[in-house]
Amino acid sequence: MKTIGYIIQKEFKQIFRNKGMLPIIFIMPLIQLVILSNAATFEIKNIKFSYVDHNKTSVSRSLIQKFDASTYFNVLTNFTSNKIATEAMLKGEVDVILEIPLDFEQNLVSKKQTDLLVIINAIDGAAAGVENGYINQIIQNFNKNIRLQLIQTNQVKNLPKTLTSIPAFWFNQTLNYKTFMVPGILVLLVTMITLFLSGMNIVREKEIGTLEQINVTPIKKHEFIIGKLFPFWIIGIGLLTIGLIIAKLLFNIPIVGSIGLLYFYTSIYILVVLGIGLFISNFTETQQQAMFIAWFFMVIFILMSGLFTPIESMPSWAQFITQFNPIRYFVEVMRMVMLKGASLTDIAPQLTKTFLYALIMNGLAVISYKKTT
């Protein structure tokens, strides 16, 4: 343990003496949060749509068919009660719930006016706003058609008034897209900096020749690896702390769930990133090579993580590839815990996959590291 402690002490001194690393550690997080949080949103497709039809008439069925015919909505099921629909929304199984009242057709004919309740998952405020626009457009078109039908069948003498939908936005009532983006930017903050620093640090030892000197010492392989990577694990946890503080003070992002659960998952996730960084450094000779390779994988991981583009809108083959993307799981966990108050049971699938990913990547990294004597 003393050997590991000395290596850790050496690494911290080396990190803070390196003027090139300090801006990456302390300035890059601010740039990521302040600038990248304003990223643009994209068109939403494959919206998971469900409904509760209390009316069960030809008019209500005609309204549901309008949503089924839309290319933006994927009509999943008809819930029999509000309770079941609410549970499905909490589990993330549906994005939109349309509730049709019992007297829907009667009010439309007699009172010439009726209301519809639309419940929308608004964790992604920008996406929820777009979804609400799609819903209003479909309802308006349906309203025009039903008015013509009622006139043709002489059921009403005057044109009925327009339908009104009453949205209830969950998890992000103000539809502030920063509430959706900032947790994802925190993921980038922790991932990019720990990956780049861990990969560049070990390769730097190769460039200046100190790695060969360390290899001929009695220091064991596991002692060297733990001593080299542990400081960056601490830095990653520190970056998460800074990011959460900035998110709360600067952007007023709610933290509904357990902060301890966030730190627990992050501590395992950082092991994945450090394993990738060590693995890359084992096959590169310069810091430039390590940076290029790390950035190559980072771009793919980020774009296919669901941070900017919903995974549901990706092609089927891309959705399959995202199953092997560790950043995807971290993004999901951050948003689930911070915005929905998810518990350990809720994030168990992501936690299990991340833990297995950490074992595999660190195992490959240790095996590929050659300590010469």
- Do 233 and 309 share a domain, yes or no? yes
Q: What was the pLDDT predicted at 273?
A: 92
Q: Is the pLDDT of residue 337 over 50?
A: yes
Residue 339 lies inside a defined structural domain of this protein: yes
* Whole-number Å distance between alpha carbons of 279 and 282: 5
Candidate from 145-154, 164-173, 238-247, 287-296 with smallest mean pLDDT: 145-154
- Comparing CA positions, the residue from 182, 88, 184, 173 lying closest to residue 123 is 173
How do residues 22-66 score in pLDDT, each as one tens digit? 776 777 777 767 776 665 445 577 889 999 998 888 888 888 888
- Do 217 and 239 share a domain, yes or no? yes
Residue 359 lies inside a defined structural domain of this protein: yes
- Do 318 and 336 share a domain, yes or no? yes
* Whole-number Å distance between alpha carbons of 371 and 373: 7
Of the chain, the percentage scoring pLDDT greater than 70 comes to: 85
Residue 42 lies inside a defined structural domain of this protein: no
The domain of 260 spans 2-36+177-368
Q: What was the pLDDT predicted at 373?
A: 44
Of the residues 143, 170, 197, the one at which a domain ends: 170
Query: Residue 165: which residues within 8 A CB-CB, separation 6 or more?
Result: 115, 116, 117, 118, 135, 136, 139
- Do 163 and 199 share a domain, yes or no? no
Of the chain, the percentage scoring pLDDT greater than 90 comes to: 14
Q: What was the pLDDT predicted at 147?
A: 67
Q: What was the pLDDT predicted at 43?
A: 59
Number of residues written out for the chain: 373
How do residues 110-161 score in pLDDT, each as one tens digit? 766 778 889 998 887 777 888 888 888 888 888 777 766 666 655 555 555 5
| Averaged pLDDT for residues 159-167 | 63
68-75 own/partner pairs: CB under 8 Å, 24+ apart: 70/134, 70/138, 71/45, 72/44, 72/45, 72/46, 72/47, 72/131, 72/134, 73/47, 73/49, 73/134, 74/46, 74/47, 74/48, 74/49, 75/49, 75/50, 75/51
Looking up residue 56, the CATH number of its domain turns out to be 3.40.1710.10
Show the tokens assigned to 164. Answer: 């009104």
Q: In what order do the strands lie in the sheet with 73-78?
A: 73-78, 47-53, 96-100, 115-121, 164-170
Which DSSP symbol is given to 46? S
How do residues 222-238 score in pLDDT, each as one tens digit? 777 788 788 889 988 98
Q: What was the pLDDT predicted at 355?
A: 95
User: How many distinct structural domains can be found in the chain?
Assistant: 2
- Do 224 and 197 share a domain, yes or no? yes
Of the residues 135, 170, 205, the one at which a domain ends: 170
- Cβ atoms of 153 and 108 within 8 Å: the answer is no
Q: What was the pLDDT predicted at 213?
A: 65
- Do 131 and 247 share a domain, yes or no? no
Residue 41 lies inside a defined structural domain of this protein: no
- Do 231 and 350 share a domain, yes or no? yes
Q: Which residue has the higher pLDDT, 219 or 242?
A: 242
